[in-house]
Amino acid sequence: MIDSSATQPVVVCPNPFYQIYEGAAFLAGAEPHFINTLPENHFKLDHGQLPDTVWSRTQLIYVCSPNNPTGSVMTLDDWRALFALSDRYGFVVASDECYSEIYFDEKNPPLGALDAAQQLGRTGFPRLVVLNSLSKRSNVPGLRSGFVAGNAQLLEKFLLYRTYHGSAMNPAAQAASAAAWGDEAHVIENRRLYAQKFSSAVALLSDVTTVRMPDASFYLWIKTPVSDTEFTKRLYQDYNVTVLPGSFLARDAHGVNPGKDFVRIALVTSPEECIEAMNRIKRCMETL
Ligand SMILES: Cc1ncc(COP(=O)(O)O)c(C=O)c1O
């Protein structure tokens, strides 16, 4: 999807972000540019952070909604603004939606890019591809099962790419993943467990720090009382709990590392283990 023969092609990524976006940009011969997603801006993509000279070289933007790590979700207005920018500069929107099925209100799932495009009358999904995965909805990252959907011309090229670069899936994994995609009961149960884990985690941690409930996803993204790396080390060393330092998930851009002094806590264990881990995080915070 990147024409590396163009002058200095650009791929735009939110910052912090899932690190593969940056590696993929380099592999495609593009230069990554970052938009910092910040708490004071409700973690939204502030397009104004990049000048016209960068947008005019942009060939693709990654967006991630629900977001890893901030848990923010794009609204119809956010999608409208992004599509308008794509129309203006001609770049592809690659929408990573692998957390689309981890949300808290059964009646209010996150709005995906395809749905938003449809609502906005964007017939044929111009310059849009959506990526999704079984990994989070069914807790099976090992199966390596996912899909890409969107604009037909882009997908034609993607299919060619997939033919040479994708690996074939063995029949047992195919059968298991087909069963997981075909069943919703376990996904609903998974959401119920996440809601339960978030409610105990937020209640416990709110005693010691400010905790923001994400719009969706299975992460808490919280400010640390000392530096994110120091906090992560202490937590691991003294309390045997592993979290990810926010600065590792972000790059220095516009004079700051927007992940600095945040940690990402993934609530992926059982509810009992989760409560135990939150109690330990709480004890660690109390000592600081
Ligand atoms: C934002 C984001 N995108 C993509 C992936 C990759 O998922 P998969 O297991 O389908 O490769 C992850 C996994 O952690 C992720 O957090």
157 within some domain: yes
| Contact 22 CB / ligand 1 (< 6 Å) | no
Same domain, 85 and 208: no
| Contact 145 CB / ligand 1 (< 6 Å) | no
- Pick the closest to residue 176 from 214, 134, 208 (CA basis): 134
Tell me the best of 13, 17, 18 to mutate to test the pocket of ligand 1, counting ligand atoms within 8 Å of each CB and taking the most.
18
Output the CA–CA distances (angstroms, integers) from residue 43 to 69, 205, 221, 236, in the order listed: 10, 21, 11, 28
> CB burial class (10 A; 0-12, 13-18, 19+) of residue 75?
middle
Same domain, 176 and 191: no
Across 227-264, b (16+ Cβ under 10 Å) vs e yields ebbebbebbeeebebebbbbbebbbebeeebbbbbbbb
Same domain, 119 and 251: no
Same domain, 82 and 159: yes
CB 135 within 8 A of CB 68: no
96 within some domain: yes
pLDDT on residue 198: 98
Atom nearest to 133 CA in ligand 1? 10
Whole-angstrom Cα distance, residue 115 to residue 97?
12
pLDDT on residue 185: 98
Atom nearest to 96 CA in ligand 1? 3
CA of 131 from ligand 1 middle (Å) equals 9
pLDDT on residue 165: 86
Please say which residue of 153, 181, 209 terminates a domain: 181
5 within some domain: no
pLDDT on residue 168: 87
pLDDT on residue 167: 84
CB 250 within 8 A of CB 258: yes
- Residues in the chain with pLDDT values less than 50: none
40 within some domain: yes
Please say which residue of 181, 206, 230 terminates a domain: 181
pLDDT on residue 9: 98
Domain that holds residue 118: 10-181
121 within some domain: yes
Contacts 24+ apart (CB under 8 A), 230-233: 231/263, 231/284, 231/288, 232/263
CATH number at residue 189: 3.90.1150.10
Please say which residue of 181, 216, 241 terminates a domain: 181
Q: Which two tokens stand for residue 88?
A: 């203006």
Whole-angstrom Cα distance, residue 198 to residue 131?
26
Same domain, 174 and 277: no
2 within some domain: no
Same domain, 23 and 135: yes
Same domain, 151 and 195: no
Angle at 202 between CA 201 and CA 203, to 5 degrees: 90
